[in-house]
Structure 1
Amino acid sequence: MLQYFTLPVTAFQQNCSLVWCDETLLAAVIDPGGDLPAILAQAERRQLKLEQIWLTHAHIDHAGGAGELARTRALPIVGPHPGDQFWIDGLPQQSAMFGFPPAEAFTPTRWLDDGDTVQIGNETLSVRHCPGHTPGHVVFHAPQIERAFVGDVLFAGSIGRTDFPQGNHQQLIDSITQRLWPMGDGTVFIPGHGPESSFGRERKSNPYVGGT
């Protein structure tokens, strides 16, 4: 079965998730924005073997530690969608602007597109391209445990910002209603910040997309 553990990292309290196959203990880390020693300590505590880095998008608080982690641990970077290349190229400038430790630009080992899959051990997750917050944002869906790792597309009671370069409010709403809602009301999502919620709960009560 797929297991996961989420820990907030960086001053932005970004939800970084370790996901692993409990049969093989092979693991991926989703959005290692920083605080790499804390992430690695959690992996070691569970005797996990980190094999991949998965990125939902390339804002500094989600991707700031990816280059260093990939280089020091010889790990492939998977994702996001090519639409976020300019955000990756700008990671060093983003880190300076927001007071983060110096971040390394990188080229993902594999770009992701809508309908792709990623695999860790015996577990497979599906990929949905969900632009709006950034043009290359992707979401990882694990239907086998009714979970989705949605980055900054949707939050409990809120939605992602669209006032960054190449953000698009209507695209974000379409991503939520056309790509996330079909995953099912019972699906629990792990957002990039804040507590988990379910798509059903947000469809009913979220002031930005409730009733859609």
Structure 2
Amino acid sequence: MELIVISKPNFFKGEAQLINGLFDQGMQRFHLRKEGGDQSAYQKLLGEIEPRYLDRIALHQFHELASQFGIQRLHFKEAQRLALLHWHLKGKKEITLSTSTHSVNHLPDLLNFNYTFLSPVFQSISKENYPGFLTEGFQLPSFGDTKVIALGGVTAPKITELQQMNFDGVAVLGTIWNEPEQAIKNFKRLQQACQTTV
């Protein structure tokens, strides 16, 4: 199963070093999402990440920085997708497009995207009162080439269950960033669980 790490929503001291450390441990995809952050801080963080890892990063904001840093992964929030803000990138094979949705009913509409986050699958770790929608025996329907990534409350013990539900991968936020000092350790546990389920 694929494993994607989403950044902590706010900037913090030592963040770039920790992101580089996660890449050193084999992180294949990192989503840089900083709601409310300004472009200069976003740009500074990107500048502190090892250049050899920049092609593994997806930008959630300030897509115009992609060319400066050689990034070819762009994420569009659900509202941006519905406003067709991604449309000018349709068919550009060099650009990997991702989006977010909160309903299985929307999955057939995502044909222009390489993958989507579907959330919250379980009670969120990073947000209070954000319950998951999965029910016992849930099976993700097959609908096309867009991969579906489970987001929300994902921990290592739940990864096998998510694979059995037909998810293509998992994305994590709170499991990594709620205890930054344990980020590498928790990532390795998730990584092992994903590799075991292949």
Q: Same fold (TM over 0.5)?
A: no
TM tier relative to shorter chain: 0.3 to 0.5
Normalised TM-score (structure 2) = 0.37
Q: Which protein has the bigger strand share?
A: 1
Q: Which has the higher contact order (CA 8 A, sep 6+)?
A: 2
